[in-house]
Amino acid sequence: MTGSKLVRDRIPEIIRASGTEPTTYRAGPAEFRQRLRDKLLEEVDEFLTADDGPIAVEELADILEVVYALAADLGTTKDALETTRAAKAAERGAFADRVIWDAGS
C-alpha cells in the first residue's frame, strides 16, 4: 500500500484528538513482521541523520521500541533478549573499548 506505514498504537487516538479521522487497519502476522523490519530501517536512518544530543537519544529509544516489538514477534521477551545480549557480550565483548580491527593489515 502506497503511503501506509506501521505507527505506534496511540497514533490514531492522537490524530482523532486533533479533529481528523485516520484510516487504519490491523496488519496480519506476515505483514506485521515485514512492517516492523521496515520500521527498524526507518528508525535507524532517522538516528543516523540526527545530530548528537536529545534527538539522537529519542531516535535510539524508537529503535529500542521496534527491537522489543520484533523480539515479541519472534516469541521472546525483553528479559530474554537482554540475557542473550549479556551472554554474547560476556563471550565476545561489547563495544566499550572502541576496538577497531584493521582487516586490511
Cα separation of 65 and 57, whole Å?
A: 12
Between the CA atoms of 104, 96, 93 and 63, what dihedral angle is there, to the nearest 10 degrees?
-100
Find how far residue 22's CA is from the centre of its chain.
23
Angle, CA 59 vertex, CA 55 and CA 65 arms, to 5°: 145
What is the predicted pLDDT for the residue at 1?
47
Q: Which helix (H) or strand (E) holds 19?
A: none
What is the predicted pLDDT for the residue at 105?
72
Structural domain boundaries in the chain: 28-89
What is the predicted pLDDT for the residue at 2?
61
Of 59, 62, 72, nearest in space to 32 by CA:
72
Q: Name the pTM for this structure.
A: 0.88
Cα separation of 23 and 74, whole Å?
A: 28
Per-residue pLDDT of the chain (105 residues; tens, 9 = 90+): 468 999 999 999 999 999 999 999 999 999 999 999 999 999 999 999 999 999 999 999 999 999 999 999 999 999 999 999 999 999 999 999 999 999 987
What is the predicted pLDDT for the residue at 76?
97
